[in-house]
Amino acid sequence: MKSHSRKTGKRAASSAASNTVLKDASRHLMNTYKRSDMIFTHGRGCYVFDQSGKKYLDFLGGIAVNALGYSYPDLVKTIRREAGRAVHVSNLFHNPFQGPLAAKLAKWSGMDRAFFTNSGSEAVEGALKLARIAAKQKPGGAKKTRFLALEHSFHGRTFGALSITHPLKYREPFEPLVPGVDFVRLNDVADLEAKFTGEVCAVIIEPIQGEGGIYPVSNEFWKRARELATGHGAALIADEIQCGLGRTGKEFAYQRLTGLPDIVIVAKPLAGGLPLGAFLAREEFAASFSPGLHGSTFGGGPLTCATGLTFLETVERKKLLENVRARGAELKAGLKKMAAKFDFIREVRGEGLMIGVDLDVEGAPYVAEALKQGLLINCTHDHILRFLPPFILTAQQAKEGLSKIESVLARTERPAKSAAVPSATAEALALAAAR
Ligand SMILES: Cc1ncc(COP(=O)(O)O)c(C=O)c1O
């Protein structure tokens, strides 16, 4: 009896605490996200728990950040150790981890040098600055200031990154943006050739578009971008913030394509959830920077860089790229079987543990039903369900995920076709044809 009332008392207290959290959020946070009322309190491995103790299999991974899941023991150990030593020392001095992390990233990527940032967007900004100055320093480079990006791209929310992000809904409210940007149709080589003039200093490409809906660039397109960039003395930049660092079963997604980029941008999983990004560059481009041209107060601090090293070493030691490939193949095969059964699935796309299921109806009701069934997923472009599970996913958990997805697809009342979902538009057809 006593323990029952203690439990009821605890529940009431925790519900009151949740109410306070939601009230404070609603009153004092800026209104930038449509959030559900769920409060996640902790996680372990591939599972995360809400304030009521309900367990969810996490196929979203903090939007491609939690590649080692939650509270991974080696990450926890490094964070605890470095938190007790020096969280920050500034970039006026060396710390024990920034150089070694740069060296490890150089080995993974084929680049030479790194600059560390606090987010993906900040790394994109740095990459644009580096490409611009490298082009300007070339003979006759004063006019080489334009950027090419792709339709449906997403590169971030800061002004430079926003200027090369294609969907109008992100850009238009904040115009005027950085001038001199042209958007090229994904995988349309003729469009790329027409827009790649001598005034271009860089073309920036996500080897697999993430927010855009899990669309891979074709090898033909990438190869031509490489040739044109070399021919015009411009930089080929790979934005690997979402698809890089092992997500596709290779260190970088461009490694399935012919030709190295000049600049590579990483962030999301790099420090296991601590804010750390970087842009990496070949020596020829990196050499354009000299002291004073770029900087960051927090970027590359000892705590985040030590954690980044632990992340990369863990991926190597535990052979997680093999796991990503194996689990990815199982998930894709299972989802393709479902596509044969549910006629509202248009296509299953992706590589490794970056998978999109393209629906011809709105995805939001499926995301909501998945939450009810203890599965965390999300939806891009209103109709593409996106799965970005941790690299440590086991075969058993892949099976559990597939069975939950099948149940979600079967149980959700099929939404009416809506204007938000282009029904095999000319654009979608063009994309498919170009692939
Ligand atoms: C490909 C890509 N580039 C850039 C960004 C922006 O990164 P951040 O949100 O860390 O600024 C994202 C974030 O989703 C991304 O997916």
pLDDT at 345 over 70: yes
With cut-offs at 50, 70 and 90, classify the pLDDT of residue 12. Answer: low
With cut-offs at 50, 70 and 90, classify the pLDDT of residue 422. Answer: low
Q: What angle do CA 186, 188, 191 make, to 5 degrees?
A: 110
pLDDT at 275 over 90: yes
CA 266/CA 319 separation, integer angstroms:
20
Neighbours of 344 (CB within 10 A): 16
pLDDT at 327 over 60: yes
What's the pLDDT at 416? 77
Q: How confident is the model over 212-261, as pLDDT tens digits?
A: 999 999 999 999 999 999 999 999 999 999 999 999 999 999 999 999 99
Residues 6+ apart with CB under 8 A from 104: 309, 312, 313
- Single out the residue of 129, 121, 183, 125 nearest to residue 153, CA to CA: 183
pLDDT at 5 over 90: no
Domains and CATH numbers, the chain: 36-65+320-411 (3.90.1150.10), 74-317 (3.40.640.10)
pLDDT at 8 over 70: no
What's the pLDDT at 36? 86
Mean pLDDT value of segment 34-46: 94
Task: Kindly state the tokens that stand for 161.
Answer: 């990154």
Task: Kindly state the tokens that stand for 400.
Answer: 């559990």
Q: How confident is the model over 120-179, as pLDDT tens digits?
A: 999 999 999 999 999 999 988 999 999 999 999 999 999 999 999 999 999 999 999 999
- Single out the residue of 250, 214, 241 nearest to residue 377, CA to CA: 214
- CA 83 to chain CA centroid, Å, is 26
pLDDT at 409 over 60: yes
Half-sphere exposure of 46 (CA within 13 A, CB side): 22
Q: How confident is the model over 50-98, as pLDDT tens digits?
A: 999 999 999 999 999 999 999 999 999 999 999 999 999 999 999 999 9
Mean pLDDT value of segment 325-350: 97
The ligand 1 atom at the shortest distance from the C-alpha of residue 277 is 10
Calculate how far, in angstroms, residue 241's C-alpha sits from the geometric centre of ligand 1.
6
Query: Three-state SS for 168?
Result: helix
The ligand 1 atom at the shortest distance from the C-alpha of residue 153 is 1
Q: What is the DSSP letter of 414?
A: P
With cut-offs at 50, 70 and 90, classify the pLDDT of residue 429. Answer: very low
pLDDT at 267 over 90: yes
Q: Is the peptide bond before 176 cis (omega within 30 degrees of 0)?
A: yes
Mean pLDDT, the chain, integer:
94
Adjacent-strand bridge partners of 203: 148, 236
CA 377/CA 242 separation, integer angstroms:
15
Q: What is the DSSP letter of 39?
A: -
CA 344/CA 359 separation, integer angstroms:
6
Task: Kindly state the tokens that stand for 8.
Answer: 């009821």
pLDDT at 425 over 60: no
What's the pLDDT at 435? 41
Residue 136, judged by CB atoms within 10 A of its CB (0-12, 13-18, 19+), counts as: middle
What's the pLDDT at 9? 66
Calculate how far, in angstroms, residue 121's C-alpha sits from the geometric centre of ligand 1.
6
pLDDT at 4 over 80: no
Q: Any alpha helices (H) in 89-188, and if so which ranges?
A: 98-109, 120-136, 159-163, 168-171
What's the pLDDT at 433? 44
Q: What percent of the chain has pLDDT over 70?
A: 93
Test site for ligand 1: of 63, 153, 154, most ligand atoms within 8 A of the Cβ: 154
What's the pLDDT at 1? 45
Q: The pTM is what?
A: 0.95
Q: Please give the sequence-ordered ranges of beta strands (E in DSSP) within 108-245, or none if there are none.
A: 113-117, 146-150, 181-184, 200-205, 208-209, 215-216, 235-239
In this structure, the residue with its CA closest to atom 10 of ligand 1 is: 120
With cut-offs at 50, 70 and 90, classify the pLDDT of residue 417. Answer: confident
Test site for ligand 1: of 122, 155, 209, most ligand atoms within 8 A of the Cβ: 155
Q: What angle do CA 339, 341, 346 make, to 5 degrees?
A: 30
Test site for ligand 1: of 157, 164, 205, 268, most ligand atoms within 8 A of the Cβ: 268
CA 405/CA 398 separation, integer angstroms:
10
pLDDT at 10 over 70: no
Residues in contact with ligand 1 (CB, 6 Å cut-off): 119-121, 124, 154-156, 206, 210-211, 239, 241-242, 267
Calculate how far, in angstroms, residue 155's C-alpha sits from the geometric centre of ligand 1.
5
